[in-house]
Amino acid sequence: MMTLREALEVVAAHRRDHVVIPTMASIGVWPALSDTPRDFHYLPSSMGQMVSVGLGLCLAKPGLGVVVLAGDGSLLMNLGCLVTAGQYRVPLSVVLIDNGLYEVTGGQPLAGAGRVDFGALARAAGFDRVYGYESAGEWAAGAAEALAGDGPVFVWLKVAGEMGKATPAPPRPMAEQIERLRAVLDAP
Amino acid sequence: MVNGASVVAALEDAGITHLVWIPDSHFGTWEAALSASRFKPIRPCREGEAVGVAIGLMLGGAKPLVVMQCTGFFEAGDAVRNAAHDLKLPLKLIVGVRSWHAAQAGKSRDTCPHFADKLVAAWELPHTRFDPTAATPEQAAGAIRDLAAGPGPGVILWAE
């Protein structure tokens, strides 16, 4: 198992010019690793919508690569998003942070924690490229392949839950985030 | 008569770039015309998810329209709140009001017409009502054009 920071450090090293959408607990770490206009910290959010938001960006800007940092609790709230995204051959990478917990609410266990085969779910939903990693070393060795090439891609990371952390906050107001993102994407 | 073909023409006229929809038995009659047009619909699984896709489209500079029945709108409340009020994006929706005609005739106890108005108002979304059985294609085009042209979020409550 890897720590959240170890998991995200590997993403930061391999994201190239992709837009990255952190959500929930990952927002507590990601700004220290990357805080460019292509980092869209989706908070305030509607929990579970991060993959859908990423897919919409891909469809609006063909060719744009998007990496979504999804928590397992968030993904379970909107599992249909995998079926929707699986319909499209777009450069969307869903990186699942699986810690079995609702971490930002104090660490309560999720439904099915430790029993859900997220890789099988993603394959069945239409993701042709599915990867799974249990240690930081394996993830570091596999990330270059996993985060390159055709999409959509699903990466399942086993991450240690961390209790007692403060609820994360985005590094800047949403209006400013949107303005920066649109400017860098040349989106009207 | 307002039908799929006239709706496709109206979407073109209004500058809509993408259609995100979950059809019901009324909107489903538009399927053939939409599939044959450049508006090959984006097909999510649930209505809140449809709004999430629309958020991404809008962040990327597109002008999507989301079409759903009011039952799905009820489910999608948190995503609608996030799009319209947290992110302040110009979310545009056509929401089908199930059983509206039957309720007007006193022939339905469906609670959809009662709650559709209240829920759209609760989310503080500017909205208009449109009855396709009492309107021309030109009037439908005008309603969709007005919806698309507004600077903020907006809803057409579409009588079914």
Q: Which two tokens stand for residue B36?
A: 């044959």
**How distant, in Å, are the alpha carbons of A3, A13, A52, A142, A160 from that of A6?**
5, 11, 25, 14, 10
The answer to whether B59 and B11 are in contact (CB under 8 A) is: no
Q: For the packed helices B4-14 and B137-149, what is the interaxial angle rounded to 10 degrees?
A: 30
Q: The complex's ipTM?
A: 0.97
Task: State residue A106's pLDDT score.
Answer: 86
Closest CA to A93 of A121, A55, A67: A67
Amino acid at B26: H
Q: Which of B56, B62, B64 lies closest to A53 in CB terms?
A: B56
Contact A52 B58 (CB under 8 A): no
Contacts of A40 in chain B (CB under 8 A): 59
Contacts of B81 in chain A (CB under 8 A): 46
Contacts of B92 in chain A (CB under 8 A): none
Task: State residue B40's pLDDT score.
Answer: 87
The pLDDT of residue A107 is above 90: no
The pLDDT of residue A66 is above 90: yes
Q: How confident is the model at residue A104 (pLDDT cuts 50, 70, 90)?
A: confident
Average pLDDT of span A50-61: 98
Mutation for B interface: A19, A42, A59, most B CBs within 10 A: A59
Q: For chain B, what is the mean pLDDT? A: 97
State how far the Cα of B2 lies from the Cα of B141, in Å rounded to an integer.
9
We report the CATH number of the domain holding residue B15 as 3.40.50.970
Q: Which of A45, A47, A187 lies closest to B61 in CB terms?
A: A187
Q: Which two tokens stand for residue A119?
A: 């890789």
Nearest chain B residue (CA) to A49: B52
Enclosing H/E stretch for A129 = strand A129-133
Enclosing H/E stretch for A22 = strand A19-22
The answer to whether A19 and A66 are in contact (CB under 8 A) is: yes
State how far the Cα of A79 lies from the Cα of A59, in Å rounded to an integer.
19
Contact A52 B82 (CB under 8 A): no
Contacts of B56 in chain A (CB under 8 A): 52-60
The answer to whether A56 and B55 are in contact (CB under 8 A) is: yes
pLDDT tens-digit profile of B6-27? 999 999 999 999 999 999 999 9
Average pLDDT of span A49-74: 97
State how far the Cα of A95 lies from the Cα of B94, in Å rounded to an integer.
33
State how far the Cα of A143 lies from the Cα of A164, in Å rounded to an integer.
29
Nearest chain A residue (CA) to B48: A49
pLDDT tens-digit profile of A80-94? 999 999 999 999 999
DSSP assignment, residue B42? B
Q: Which of B45, B62, B88 lies closest to A84 in CB terms?
A: B45
Domain extent at residue B149:
4-159
The domain total for chain B is 1
Q: Which domains are delineated in chain A?
A: 4-185 (3.40.50.970)
Mutation for A interface: B59, B66, B89, most A CBs within 10 A: B59
Task: State residue A173's pLDDT score.
Answer: 97
Contact A60 B88 (CB under 8 A): no
Amino acid at B57: L
**How distant, in Å, are the alpha carbons of A151, B95, B114, B144 from that of B129?**
41, 10, 13, 11
The three-state secondary structure class of A94 is strand
Q: How confident is the model at residue B129 (pLDDT cuts 50, 70, 90)?
A: very high
Contacts of A83 in chain B (CB under 8 A): 45
